[in-house]
């Protein structure tokens, strides 16, 4: 009888150890990548929470003091989400100042091409290349105090003073405005107008939209927080499962 009790204790301890290991992995994923699986084991559909925070890092590493979203981590994760049978939908949590145009646009294209339901929620800022990311989801929300900044493309480093440079900038800008127009209710010419606005900021071109403003012009679908965003995503998952 004593041996049986010890054996059962080992099994229980083994289960506890396994659960602790899963929790530790989840905590590590949150701390390292800002990613977590919501609603695990509850039978309502597993939702992957993906955070886009700080600055979207490009092909070169930013300094260690900066909060960044590393596209080389997020791209394979999005591919894994698309291939996974366990993940039913994605919630994109956005609070970014922008960053690398090419890499941010690549992330937006990946989100837009997912076959699983996606919802974005802007909770702080979604500036610059964060705008395409916010509109890339199937549905989008913004909290009342969050802001979105639309401005022209900027470039650091050496610039050659030639007509080709202007055309190159224009083509990059067309890629961004075209994507935003295709995934929102704002026409491309209106986005370009917002980009070139001279009346909104004292030392820059562009337009700052706060909460309801982004919804009013058709950039974001609804004003709401995490409760409404999750509810909407679960509705979309349920509808998809019913076929």
| 151 belongs to the catalytic site | yes
CA angle centred on 34, ends 111 and 136, rounded to 5°: 20
Element (H, E) at 213: helix 212-216
For residues 81 and 87, the answer to whether their CB atoms sit within 8 Å is yes
Task: Determine the Cα–Cα distance for residues 93 and 100; give it in Å rounded to an integer.
Answer: 18
Catalytic residue chosen out of the listed positions 128, 136, 140, 184:
128
Instruction: Extract the tokens encoding 88.
Output: 């039913």
Using only the alpha carbons of the chain, give its radius of gyration.
21
Dihedral sign, CA of 129, 131, 132, 136?
positive
Non-local CB neighbours of 240 within 8 Å, separated by 6+ positions: 88, 116, 117
Catalytic residue chosen out of the listed positions 51, 120, 140, 151:
151
| 167 belongs to the catalytic site | no
Task: Determine the Cα–Cα distance for residues 187 and 165; give it in Å rounded to an integer.
Answer: 26
Instruction: Extract the tokens encoding 148.
Output: 């979105």
Tell me whether strands 222-223 and 207-210 are parallel, antiparallel or unpaired.
unpaired
What are the CA-CA distances from residue 65 to residues 1, 25, 37, 176, 210 (Å)?
59, 24, 27, 28, 28
What are the CA-CA distances from residue 100 to residues 3, 107, 135, 221 (Å)?
62, 11, 17, 25
**Active-site residue numbers?**
128, 151
């Amino acid at each position: 009888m004593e041996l049986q009790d010890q054996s059962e204790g080992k099994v229980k301890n083994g289960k506890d150890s396994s659960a602790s290991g899963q929790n530790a992995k989840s905590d590590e994923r949150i701390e390292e990548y800002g990613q977590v699986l919501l609603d695990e084991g509850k039978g309502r559909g597993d939702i992957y929470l993906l955070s886009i925070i700080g600055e979207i890092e490009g092909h070169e590493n930013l300094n260690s003091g900066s909060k960044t979203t590393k596209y080389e981590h997020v791209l394979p994760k999005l591919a894994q989400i698309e291939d996974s049978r366990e993940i039913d939908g994605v919630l994109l949590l956005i609070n970014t100042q922008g960053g690398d145009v090419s890499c941010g646009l690549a992330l937006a294209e990946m989100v837009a091409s997912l076959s699983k339901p996606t919802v974005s929620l802007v909770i702080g800022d979604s500036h610059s290349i964060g705008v395409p990311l916010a509109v890339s989801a199937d549905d989008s929300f913004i909290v009342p105090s969050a802001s979105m900044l639309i401005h022209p493309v900027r470039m650091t480093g050496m610039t050659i003073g030639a007509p080709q440079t202007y055309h190159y900038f224009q083509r990059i800008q067309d890629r961004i405005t075209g994507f935003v127009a295709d995934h929102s209710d704002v026409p491309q010419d209106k986005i370009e107008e917002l980009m070139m606005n001279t009346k909104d900021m004292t030392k820059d071109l562009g337009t700052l939209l706060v909460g309801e403003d982004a919804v009013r012009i058709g950039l974001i679908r609804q004003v709401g927080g995490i409760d409404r965003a999750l509810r909407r995503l679960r509705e979309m998952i349920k509808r998809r499962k019913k076929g």
